[in-house]
Amino acid sequence: MHDHNHEPGHIPPADLPKHRTYLGFRPHIFIGGLVLIAILFIYLLMFINGRPLVAHPQAAPAPSQATSPR
């Protein structure tokens, strides 16, 4: 680590652990960002598609009474 003059038997402190980073972000931040982007992308696809997530049942059309036998 450092080459300073120390007393014999002196053990220098260990280096601090280096955190692994992805594009400059720590792993949990990077993965959380990817999950957020995925959720927003899915929402965007649903918004563009125009379909609701839950399909509501359509009401049956009322029988027409305009047809009468002649």
Q: Does pLDDT of 3 surpass 60?
A: no
CB neighbour burial string for 43-54, b if at least 16 within 10 angstroms, e if fewer? eeeeeeeeeeee
The share of the chain scoring above pLDDT 90, in percent, equals 20
pLDDT of residue 37: 97
Calculate ∠ Cα 39-26-2, nearest 5°.
175
- 45 or 69: whose pLDDT is higher? 45
pLDDT of residue 47: 83
Dihedral (C-alpha) 26, 31, 37, 43: value to the nearest 10 degrees? -150
At 34-43, the pLDDT tens digits run 999 999 999 9
Q: Report the predicted TM-score, pTM, of the whole model to 2 decimal places.
A: 0.46
Q: Does pLDDT of 56 surpass 80?
A: no
